[in-house]
Amino acid sequence: MSRFVPVKIVLLMLLAGSAYAEKADREKKINIEAANCVMNQKTQASVCTKNVVLTQGTLSIRADKLTVRQDEAGNQFVAGNGSPVRFRQKMDGGNDWVDAEAQRFDYDGHTGILKLMDKAWVKRGEDQIYSDLITYDLNNEAYQAQSKPEGNGRVNIVITPKKAPAP
């Protein structure tokens, strides 16, 4: 049985319009800065700690610890934790940014799934979501928010009406 009870909400608020995360970012080099990094070129794995900053194009991730690996096919896998981990990325076709925060995260480059876990939130413009687990499928550009079965965990969504253009 899953640790999380799905609320099964696809967050149209974050997908509205034609603005999506910068697709070109995925093709750019990853740059990692940290106080300490251990890298194994044979296994294509790195573990970085203390004030870690990962950038890839407009994407920025700040964490206490970051583990990055790449498989033979070039798929990237990233896991991190922090107090909290912070994300920021520019959206395609405009000046909008998406900001997110969680205590830990996992990214699977093969499936394109990003999981934000524990005290997670995502904000785009005035729209926001808060949840125990937020899963984002980068390939299908769809979000799902879930709460923990124990306690009073709830998903909280704030959708701000779009203003009509002035006549």
Residue 3: phi and psi, rounded to 5, are: -70, -25
What's the rounded Cα separation, in Å, for the pair 115 and 113?
7
| pLDDT tens digits along 17-34 | 333 455 566 677 888 999
Q: Which of 11-25, 62-76, 96-110 has the lowest mean pLDDT?
A: 11-25
pLDDT value at 3 more than 50: no
pLDDT at position 149: 73
pLDDT at position 151: 59
Nearest to 143 by CA among 131, 161, 126: 131
Q: Which residues have CB under 8 Å from 46's CB, separation 6+? A: 32, 37, 38, 39, 40, 66, 67, 68, 69
Q: Where are the domains of the chain?
A: 5-158
| pLDDT tens digits along 100-148 | 999 999 988 888 888 999 999 988 888 899 999 999 887 777 788 988 7
Q: Which two tokens stand for residue 145?
A: 């928010």
In the chain, what percentage of residues exceed pLDDT 70?
81
In sequence order, what DSSP letters do the residues of 7-76 get, joined into one string?
Answer: -----HHHH-TT--B-GGGGGSPPEEE-SEEEEETTTTEEEEEEEEEEEETTEEEEEEEEEEEE-TT--E
Q: What is the CA radius of gyration of the chain?
A: 17
Nearest to 25 by CA among 73, 61, 65, 68: 61
**What's the CATH number for 5-158?**
2.60.450.10
pTM of the model: 0.76
Beta-bridge mates of residue 124: 98, 127
Beta-bridge mates of residue 146: 6, 133
